[in-house]
Structure 1
C-alpha cells in the first residue's frame, strides 16, 4: 500500500486527536479513578469477593432453580454486587468511565459525519444513534427512509 500525503496527514491528525483525548480532564479523571480502584485494599477486597461469588453464580445458572444452592448464591451475589457498586471508588470510576465513553462517542460521530452524513456510527448511545437516518436498527427494511 502506498503512503500518500493525504493518508499521512490523516494519520497525523488522528494521533493529535488521541493525544488531546489522553490529555483531557475527562481522561485524567478516568486514570485517577482507575488508580484509586486498583490501589484501595477495601475496594479490591469487595471486587475479589464479588468475582468469587459470581463464579458460583455462573455454576448455579447452568442448573437454574434446581441447583441446591440456588437461593443462597442468588442472594449473596446481589448483596456483594450492591456492596461493590456502592463503594465510593467504584462509583466514581463508573461515572468517569461513562464520561470518557461519551467523549469518544462524540468524537466518533464528528469524524464519521465529516466524511458523510450517511455514515452510521454505532455508539450504543441512543442520543447519538438517533441522529443517523436509521436510528441504528429500525428493522423495517428501509421503510423509515434509511438505506438498510
Structure 2
C-alpha cells in the first residue's frame, strides 16, 4: 500500500486499495459467512422476527411507562424474546463477527485520524474500552469537545 498521498487522485487510489484489502480480509469474510448462515437459519429468522414484534409492542407500551396496564407483561415478553434470539448459535456467531469487523474498522479509523493529527477525536461505539475515542461519540451528549 502506498504511504504518500500527494494528489486527490492518489487519495482515491489509496482509499480504493484500503477498501479492497478490508473486503478481502478474514474478518470481513467471516462477517459475510456468519450473516449468510444466520439469514438461512429458519430458527434464527423466527427468533429475530419474534424479537422485533415484541420490540414494537414494547415501544408502544413504553410511551406510557409502568402505568400502562400491559407494561410488565410486554416487558417480560420482550426480554424473553431477546434472550431466545441471543442464545441462538447463528445469531451469536454473527454478533461476534460483527463486533470483530467493527473493531477492525474502528482501528483503521483511529490509525487514519492519528496519522493526520493526534488531536483528531474518533467517535467510538464503546467508550469504556476505547481510550483514544471521544467517550461515546460526538453526538452522545457527553462532554466531548469535538467540533
Question: Into which bin does the TM-score normalised by the smaller protein fall?
Answer: 0.7 to 0.9
Q: How many residues align?
A: 135
1:56-135, aligned counterparts within 5 Å? 56-126=57-127, 127-128=129-130, 130-131=131-132
More helix as a share of residues:
1
How far has the Cα of 1:30 moved from its partner?
0.2
Larger radius of gyration: 1
- Asked if structure 1 preserves the Cα contact closer than 8 Å seen for 2:134 and 2:144, the reply is no
Equivalent position of 1:23 in the other structure: 24
Please report the RMSD computed on the Cα atoms of aligned residues, expressed in angstroms: 2.1
Q: Aligned partners of 1:31, 1:11: CA distance in 2, in Å?
A: 25
Contact 2:86/2:92 (<8 A) preserved: yes
In the aligned structure 1, how far is the partner of 2:126 from the partner of 2:12? Answer: 27
**3-state SS of paired residue (2:120):** coil
In 2, the alpha carbon distance for the partners of 1:140 and 1:37 equals 37
Please give the residue correspondences for 1:46-65 in structure 2 after superposition, counting only pairs within 5 Å: 46-65=47-66
- Say if 1:139 and 1:66 are closer, same or farther in 2 by CA, change over 3 A: closer
Which residue number in structure 1 is paired with residue 134 of structure 2? 136
1:88-144 deviations in whole A, cap 9, x for unaligned?
Answer: 01101111000000000111111111111222122234444x23xxx5258498xxx
User: TM-score by structure 2 length?
Assistant: 0.83
4+ residue segments displaced more than 6 Å: none
User: What CA deviation, in whole Å up to 9, does each residue of 1:4-30 have, x standing for no partner?
Assistant: x61000110000001100000000000
Q: Distance in 1 between matches of 2:47 and 2:125?
A: 29
Residue 139 to residue 75, structure 1, CA distance change in 2 (3 Å): closer
Unaligned runs of 5+ in 2: 1-5, 136-141
Give the 3 Å change call, closer, same or farther, for CA 47–7 of structure 1 in structure 2: same
> CA contact under 8 A between 2:48 and 2:85: conserved in structure 1?
yes
